[in-house]
Amino acid sequence: MGQETIYFGRFVSAPTPDELLIRTGAVLVDSKNGKGVITKADWTIDGPNGAVSKFGVEAPVVMPKDNGFFFPGFIDTHIHASQYPNVGIFGKSTLLDWLTTYTFPLESSFGNVNSPMYKDSIEPPDPLARAKKVYNRLINRTLAHGTTTASYYATIHVEATNLLAEIAFKKGQRAYIGRVCMDRPETCPDYYRDESTEQTMANTKASIDYCRSLDPSGELLAHIITPRFAPSCLPETLTQLGALAKEEDLRVQTHISENLNEVKLVKELFPEQKSYADVYDHHGLLTPKTILAHAVHLSKEEMRLVKERKVKVSHCPASNSALGSGFCPVRELLDEGIEVGLGTDVSGGYSTSILDAVRNACMVSRHVGFLNEGDSRYNLGVAEALWLGTMGGAKVVGMEGRLGGFAEGMLWDVQEINLGDVDVRGQGGDTDVDIFGWENWEERVAKWVWNGDERNVRRVWIGGKLVHERR
């Protein structure tokens, strides 16, 4: 196999919040060290042969179709892999009853034969077979949607969590894998919790070790320390997880201020701390490598603390709407200088697609604008929402300058988007992105954002390696 590849054609990216960069040219990707890095980029090249002679290498040239373009891979900064079978299953619930009704029973079935999910099952329970089936299908699905990096929550079970790590690694997705930590008896069911702080720490360390055994560099795969959320964990556990994150220099992920009843619960469980953010800060969990999901109801003071600690936020608009959690004021977070990325939050969110999160981020921002006297300043535009799903995500997972664009030195984590043929036999295009032919490229990208889906994702590469091809 060749070590170098040239990609020639149209490249679209969102390097800043208000700029959609659309250009033709070529990049040279070097996979010699197994990483797939862009070593050269040239935006004056106007043909595949020109690319070969300009770069001076006899490398194969890969091109999108006529109505296609290269786009940076999406980054899902918050997704619960184990909850995938429940997408769309949430009834009228809101966060706290959703967790006990739908989520804990499903998650427990990945490691506990006495899970309530197996109560009426005809077949004998097989937790690992279930985990394998769900995780394989989920990674295939997210890759098909163009998700090249994801920050995953698994379950509390070490074996099943390690299986998720192994499957993501084998399929070549850039993944941060979290074994879920939850051990506070008042808030966690007997059938689904770690027994003690000691057990939580031992199991977390076992999962860290396993991830390191697969990828010692941590570039493609790494463990992420995952206290489910403040109410789920004993205070001593939160303290020890904070210390472990520091000691091992690892990423941390958790939830914050998603739902008003949850905020109230945190006040009751942690009366000494002055806010939800303060609870995490008190336990050493607010670090530059921490990803906080939701942040819907933060006070200004909490936003300032989050900013001061350089903590990142994962905005999960589809989930916030589905579970009736509220409207995250993304503009205020950005104005405060907080780094924000997008998350699907499957299965609080009903979709595994970050393109869908891009759309939902646009929609929710308009509701926020409406609630602020119809001020369109709050509205996110197409470029800005795409920026959140790529560049924003790169910052959130600590990969700024490596992911999210086409600059020299960046990794080739890229999706090839195909908008389909224009007007097939007079019937319109063959995907929901119906291109008439007169639209300019900015308009075509907008049409992709609002009506695109995985049918428009033709190929996906991660670290220069082809990981998905649409048949």
Mark out the alpha helices in 221-308 (DSSP H runs): 235-248, 260-269, 276-282, 300-308
Name the binder of 228 from ligand GUN, Fe ion, none, CB < 5-8 A by kind. ligand GUN
d(C-alpha 438, C-alpha 275), whole Å: 53
Contacts of Fe ion in 336-375 (CB under 5 A)? 345
Tally of CB atoms within 10 A around 196: 13
CA-CA-CA-CA torsion sign (274, 277, 278, 279)? positive
With contact defined as beta carbons under 8 Å apart, do 175 and 467 qualify?
no
As measured in angstroms, the least distance from the Cβ of 416 to ligand GUN is: 31
Mark residues 254-273: x for contact with ligand GUN by CB under 6 A, - for none.
-x--x---------------
Query: In whole angstroms, what is the distance from residue 399 CA to residue 402 CA?
Result: 5
In the complex, the smallest distance separating the C-beta of residue 262 from ligand GUN, rounded to whole angstroms, is 7
302 forms part of the interface with Fe ion (CB under 5 A): no
8 neighbors 61 (Cβ within 8 angstroms): yes
**Residue 107 binds Fe ion, judged by CB under 5 A:** no
In the DSSP assignment, the letter for residue 269 is H
Number of residues that bind ligand GUN (CB under 6 A): 11
State the residue for tokens 């509205």: 379
Q: Is the peptide bond before 347 cis (omega within 30 degrees of 0)?
A: yes
User: Which residue lies nearer to ligand GUN by CB, 67 or 115?
Assistant: 115
End-to-end CA distance of the chain: 22
CB closer to ligand GUN out of 251 and 255: 255
Binding-site string for ligand GUN from residue 189 to residue 228, where x marks contact by CB under 6 A and - marks none: ---------------------------------------x
Shortest distance (Å) from residue 342 CB to ligand GUN: 14
State yes or no: residue 345 binds ligand GUN (CB under 6 A): yes
Min. distance of Cβ 286 from Fe ion in angstroms? 18
Whether 417 and 457 have beta carbons less than 8 Å apart is answered as: yes
Nearer to ligand GUN, 314 or 415 (CB): 314
Yes or no: say if 316 and 54 are a contact pair by the CB < 8 Å rule: no
Instruction: Count CA within 13 A, CB hemisphere, residue 145.
Output: 23
CB of 71 to ligand GUN, least distance (A): 27
Rounded (5°) CA angle 34-407-21 = 135
Stretch that binds Fe ion, among 61-69, 280-288, 292-300, 451-459 (CB under 5 A): 292-300
Distance CA 295, CA 272 (A): 21
Question: Is 103 among the residues that bind ligand GUN (CB under 6 A)?
Answer: yes
Secondary structure (3-state) at 48: helix
Angle between helices 127-144 and 158-171 (to 10 degrees): 30
Cα gap 81→439, rounded to integer Å? 38
Among residues 345 and 416, whose Cβ is nearest to ligand GUN? 345
Supply the minimum distance, in Å, between the C-beta of residue 150 and ligand GUN.
15
Which residues within the stretch 324-343 sit at the binding site for Fe ion (CB under 5 A)? none
Q: Shortest approach of Fe ion to residue 45 CB, angstroms? A: 43
Q: Which among 95-103, 170-178, 217-225, 272-280 is the span making contact with ligand GUN, rule CB under 6 A?
A: 95-103
Exposed / middle / buried, residue 367 (Cβ in 10 Å: 0-12, 13-18, 19+): middle
For residues 183 and 345, which CB has a smaller minimum distance to Fe ion in the complex? 345
The smaller minimum CB distance to ligand GUN, of residues 109 and 418, is found at 109
Dist. CA 173–CA 295, nearest whole Å: 27
Quick one: 356 or 416, whose CB is closer to ligand GUN? 356
Q: How far apart are CA 142 and CA 343, in angstroms?
A: 12
Q: Nearest residue to ligand GUN, using CB? A: 348
The answer to the question of residue 258 lying near Fe ion (CB under 5 A) is no
If the CB atoms of residues 345 and 384 are measured against Fe ion, the closer one turns out to be: 345
Based on CB atoms, which residue is closest to ligand GUN, 294 or 468?
294
Binding site for ligand GUN (CB under 6 A): 80, 95, 99, 103, 228-229, 255, 258, 319, 345, 348
* Binding-site ranges for Fe ion (CB under 5 A): 293, 345
